[in-house]
Chain A
Amino acid sequence: MKGETIDDAAIRMAAADNVVTALEDLPAGREFDVDGEMVTLAEPVEFGHKFALTSFEPGDTVWKYGEVIGTATEAIAAGEWVHTHNVVSTRGQPSTESGESAETDESTESGESAETDESAESDDAKRGDA
């Protein structure tokens, strides 16, 4: 697995990806030339965090590593930070209620795991523009 760096400051892990990962702390306003299209950061993006290359509607699929990593919960514009505030797992609802007990599968959360299977429907549209 290897990615393609963009302007030495971000990395796209696979050609199909619609988000990329910051390789340094990036300020708002930073511009990236992505395959000839300019993407301007709408907000600061920290090292290791992701920003959108394209615009998302709620329910759109987020691709990284050429694989599905989640679903947008709100509209996201190209250049916006993509993280837990606007993306959820397709496997269950990430919970933010417990702020501790990291790193193990034993951290307790409340039980229900809402299914978001309907999110799969918009895959094709998103995949096409990657």
Chain B
Amino acid sequence: MSERAADPREFEGYRRADGRVGVRNYVAVVPVSVTASAIAKAVADDAGTGVRALPHQMPLSPSDAARTQIESVLEGVGANPNVAAALYVALGTEDIAAADLADAVAETGKPVETLAIREAGGTEAAVGQGVDLAEKLAETARETRRETADTSELIVAMECGGSDATSGIAANPVVGDACDRIVEAGGTGLISETPEFIGAEHIMAERCVDDDVREKLLSRIERREQMADLMGVDFRGAQPSPGNQEGGLTTIEEKSLGAIAKGGTTPLRDVITYGNRLPVGGGFVVMDSPGYDVESVSGKVAGGAQIVVFTTGRGSTTGNPIAPVIKVTGNPKTFQRMHENMDVDASRVLDGESVRVVGETLYDRIHDVASGTLTAAERHGMAEFAINDLPANEVATLGDPT
């Protein structure tokens, strides 16, 4: 890849007080637990454009290990530079304090508010107060204008869901090419979904910049396998999924070898824990995440990724509340059948177009989307969000992942 000239180019983004640059300008309404999720959604619905809810299912009192992970994600989505201001909504009895999350996010210099449902006096009062707070925050957000930023300030997260044989042949190599371009321009590109490294560990291990990173990567993969075993799941047997198999994928090795192509070819510089802060200008990195695509995307967005590139052979419609998700398919039938949900047609590779040419098309699209062009998922209001839970018994046996 070294023969490729770095191709830095610019986009128009929202520069935040901490220097990071957003590609969207949202007010995030973040529930601290499941008990506040419906109210967070009602607040966002009533407050109008630019206000996004991130409803989830996490309990009032998670286990200690799960709590750390949940806190990272809840804080991370508020801190993401696509978010201009955040409102944390709690019932008021959660183990995780809304005030602590707000304080942590306020360190980025953005306005943050909290709302306690019990203190407010119930549902209607809480929604009313929440809408007032969100509208005030949105007013502040509107004062921020897009300004010129550099590709090196982008963190782009690669993801796949609904894979078939075209994923590894066309879509993932195209995404890998764009990932290389982002990294060579000085930005950060990343993949996650640790279970989908099984059968391709040796290739990923070779890409690690040093022994520390290699050890970290291999231990995380092993831990995912052990956790599955403890949960009574032989996920090597459950992978590829029935849908993947129908699409022509025979074994986990075949799926993994295709999946890691999303990460391109540059050196692997670090392995980041699920939901933790990702480096700006960090090159190619991995986030240790489960294989479930919505949780994986949510973890990467919590880490600060501004844009998600999502390949799908069979056709996924998934989006995210605060980050644009660019859909890439290598399956010509899926591109035709689900045209309204797709952004980039990588099936041209199957007709003989080079991966590099389509990779450049995607790289251009990433910059367009960074500057404000809506993705298919955004146009259709697709906004899935889910936090990965940690099974307490298994964590007790295996120890904390960090």
Write the residues of chain A forming the contact surface with B, with a CB cutoff of 8 angstroms.
1-3, 5, 8, 11, 13, 21-23, 46-50, 62, 64-65, 67-70, 82-84, 87-95, 98-113
Query: Total A-B pairs in contact (CB under 8 Å)?
Result: 154
Name the 9 nearest CB pairs between A and B, nearest first: A48-B248, A48-B165, A92-B236, A102-B241, A89-B251, A95-B237, A105-B291, A107-B238, A69-B254
Judge whether B232 and A108 touch: CB under 8 Å: yes
A8-B352, A94-B251, A110-B234 are known contacts; what are 10 more A-B pairs with Cβ within 8 Å?
A: A11-B350, A21-B248, A67-B200, A67-B203, A69-B251, A70-B253, A87-B251, A102-B243, A104-B292, A113-B234
28 A–B contacts, CB within 8 A, in A order? A1-B173, A8-B352, A47-B165, A47-B248, A48-B166, A65-B254, A68-B253, A69-B251, A69-B253, A70-B251, A70-B253, A70-B254, A83-B248, A87-B251, A89-B253, A90-B199, A91-B198, A91-B252, A92-B237, A92-B252, A94-B252, A101-B238, A103-B244, A103-B291, A104-B241, A104-B291, A105-B291, A108-B231
Interface size on B, residues (CB 8 A): 53
Question: How long is the Cα–Cα vector from A88 to B168 in the complex, in angstroms?
Answer: 19
Q: Within 8 Å CB of B92, what residues of A? A: none
Distance in Å from the Cβ of B361 to the closest Cβ of chain A? Answer: 16
Write the residues of chain B forming the contact surface with A, with a CB cutoff of 8 angstroms.
161-162, 164-166, 168-169, 173, 176, 195, 198-200, 203, 224, 228-229, 231-239, 241-245, 247-248, 250-254, 257-258, 261, 290-293, 313, 331, 333, 349-350, 352, 354-355
Q: Within 8 Å CB of A1, what residues of B? A: 173, 176, 261, 355
Distance in Å from the Cβ of A71 to the closest Cβ of chain B? Answer: 9
Q: What residue of chain A has the Cβ atom nearest to residue B253's Cβ?
A: A69
Judge whether A108 and B233 touch: CB under 8 Å: yes
Interface of B is mostly: helix
Interface of A is mostly: loop
Q: Within 8 Å CB of A23, what residues of B? A: 350
Distance in Å from the Cβ of B300 to the closest Cβ of chain A? Answer: 17
Question: How long is the Cα–Cα vector from A48 to B199 in the complex, in angstroms?
Answer: 20
Judge whether A111 and B254 touch: CB under 8 Å: no
Distance in Å from the Cβ of A37 to the closest Cβ of chain B? Answer: 23
Contact of A11 among B169, B257, B313 (CB under 8 A): B169
Judge whether A90 and B237 touch: CB under 8 Å: no
Judge whether A82 and B250 touch: CB under 8 Å: yes
Question: How long is the Cα–Cα vector from A54 to B66 in the complex, in angstroms?
Answer: 50
Q: What residue of chain B has the Cβ atom nearest to residue A93's Cβ?
A: B237
Contact of B254 among A64, A99, A108 (CB under 8 A): A64
Q: A64-B257, A89-B253 are in contact. Are A113 and B236 (CB under 8 A)?
A: yes
Judge whether B224 and A105 touch: CB under 8 Å: yes
Distance in Å from the Cβ of B158 to the closest Cβ of chain A? Answer: 14
Question: How long is the Cα–Cα vector from A117 to B233 in the complex, in angstroms?
Answer: 20
Question: How long is the Cα–Cα vector from A106 to B241 in the complex, in angstroms?
Answer: 11
Distance in Å from the Cβ of A120 to the closest Cβ of chain B? Answer: 13
Judge whether B251 and A105 touch: CB under 8 Å: no
Judge whether B228 and A105 touch: CB under 8 Å: yes
Question: How long is the Cα–Cα vector from A89 to B236 in the complex, in angstroms?
Answer: 8
Judge whether A105 and B239 touch: CB under 8 Å: yes
Q: A69-B250, A89-B252, A109-B237 are in contact. Are A103 and B290 (CB under 8 A)?
A: no
Contact of A105 among B232, B290, B355 (CB under 8 A): B290
Distance in Å from the Cβ of B293 to the closest Cβ of chain A? Answer: 7
Judge whether A92 and B234 touch: CB under 8 Å: yes
Contact of B292 among A3, A48, A100, A106 (CB under 8 A): A106
Q: What residue of chain A has the Cβ atom nearest to residue B356's Cβ?
A: A2
Question: How long is the Cα–Cα vector from A114 to B164 in the complex, in angstroms?
Answer: 26
